[in-house]
Chain A
């Protein structure tokens, strides 16, 4: 059991938890979805569910860009690194390195001799291209709108400097179509959304207005501390009680309502929307992902190289898709904690720290171990 005293401002947190209890309708079952993987992680780490009344259910949405990437895309990226006559260096962020492809993760490919490198910034992938003119450096780009502007600016730099031995394999996805797909899904009945924290620093709060206006559901953009999330839930409950549905910004200290204009301009310069893109668990969603514009074709890995484009379904027993959609809880997947653990992940939700399976495994199981120690004592 996570003790409130361990948090900062425990009195305010206790008061906020009491406020939540005052605001709920005990006869009602509330379902709130947090879209952002960082929020999923925070909810588990802080044991927030223990602070909430039993009739508030938090559903984890598909806000983990590593988790929603279908295995076929990883295979495609690694195929480029492996099979070309010209040496290609596969670069990606650290959290991509252990994600399983059909023939192993990037790290396992590295062990077999493929040139795979971790970078912490797309500009460092470009730096590798500058320093290794005899190699082609491919940056395997993932992430929502938080990260896409940095990839965009890096491509603008590459073009301005005329660096030819660099390309981006672009898997950037956009959050709004994912939310739309969730709302359109017959499996889901949701009452409100906890809006993503850092995506919103780029896109601002305006893109969420249709959720309030057309779907009549509250959405509150939230920070990542326990108090932020609890305050966001208070704000949602106040709206529901008043029969309102609007966009609110709880994370004002970081998120500007208008977003980041420079970041949005860079994205518009370099990227356009793909007609459709496959998301693990959600299937094909139209206009939900980015690709490089024709003006950047030379830096587009998918146009520079032959990409197999093979669609790969997840291992049949793995229920990644249903967990991603929020239809199943992690522990309800048949492989959870048995064949699929953080040490031997079957699917990406167990690899990424933002994945709900990894978060549940780390924090929930630790909590259960602590509880059993206490009851044995």
Chain B
């Protein structure tokens, strides 16, 4: 649950709320940029740490790649991808690849 997922900013959509398109291992979703410092907004190519659909902070590319490796080491990479794929309720189609955890 305490996943901080690194993502690369693809674009920033002006307006309120400020949303940004991020890319996480090839998956693109919109995240809310409202928790970032408004006078230091990310630009395309910057990296952010994402938690439950909100960008929490800007980080360097080096730290972003390390964070991705940390998630893999923790065995949380799949969970992170499932979370990202679920942003925006993208999972509601018949071809959805997001599954609920089996129980």
Binding site for B on A (CB under 8 A): 7-8, 36-38, 41-42, 45-46, 64-66, 93-95, 97-98, 107, 118-124, 127-128, 143, 146-147, 149-150, 153, 157, 160, 197-198, 201-202, 223-226, 253-254, 256, 260-263, 266, 343, 352-354
Q: Which residues of B contact A121 (CB under 8 A)?
A: 32, 52-54, 86-87
Chain B residue with minimal CB distance to A154? B32
Near A by CB (< 8 A), chain B positions 14-71 give 16-17, 32, 34-38, 49, 51-54, 56-57, 59-60, 63, 66-67, 69-70
B74 touching A253 by the CB < 8 A rule? no
8 A-B pairs besides A123-B32, A147-B52, A201-B57 with CB distance below 8 A are A95-B1, A118-B100, A149-B54, A150-B32, A153-B17, A254-B57, A266-B35, A353-B79
- List of A residues within 8 angstroms of B66 by Cβ: 253
By a CB distance below 8 angstroms, the chain A residues around B53 are 120-124, 150
Given the complex, which residues of B lie within 8 Å of A128, measured CB to CB? 89
Residue contact A202 to B83, C-beta cutoff 8 Å: no
* A-B CB contact pairs (8 Å), 8 listed: A8-B69, A38-B2, A94-B82, A124-B89, A127-B88, A150-B54, A198-B51, A224-B70
**How close is A43's CB to chain B, nearest CB, in angstroms?**
11
A66 (CB) vs chain B CBs: closest residue = B1
B1 touches A260 (CB 8 A): no
In the complex formed, the residue of A with least CB distance to B19 is: A123
Distance between Cα atoms of A146 and B57 in the complex (Å): 12
Smallest CB-CB separation from B54: which chain A residue? Answer: A150
Q: Indicate if the CB atoms of A107 and B103 lie closer than 8 Å.
A: yes
Q: Find out whether the CB atom of A253 lies under 8 angstroms from the CB atom of B2.
A: no
Residue B12 CB within 8 A of the other chain:
no
Q: Is the CB of A93 within 8 A of B59?
A: no
A119 near B86 with CB under 8 A, answer: yes
The 6 nearest A-B residue pairs measured at CB: A121-B53, A120-B86, A38-B2, A150-B54, A120-B83, A263-B35
Q: Which residues of B contact A153 (CB under 8 A)?
A: 17, 32, 34-35, 54
Residue in B closest to A345 when the chains form the complex, CB atoms: B103
* Residues of chain A within 8 A of B1, CB atoms compared: 37, 64-66, 93, 95, 143, 147, 352-354
A224 to B2, CA, bound (A): 11
Q: List the A side residues contacting B75 at CB < 8 Å.
A: 45
Residues of B close to A97: CB separation below 8 A: 100-101
Of all chain B residues, the one with the shortest Cβ separation from A97 is: B100
**Which residues of B have CB within 8 Å of A261?**
37
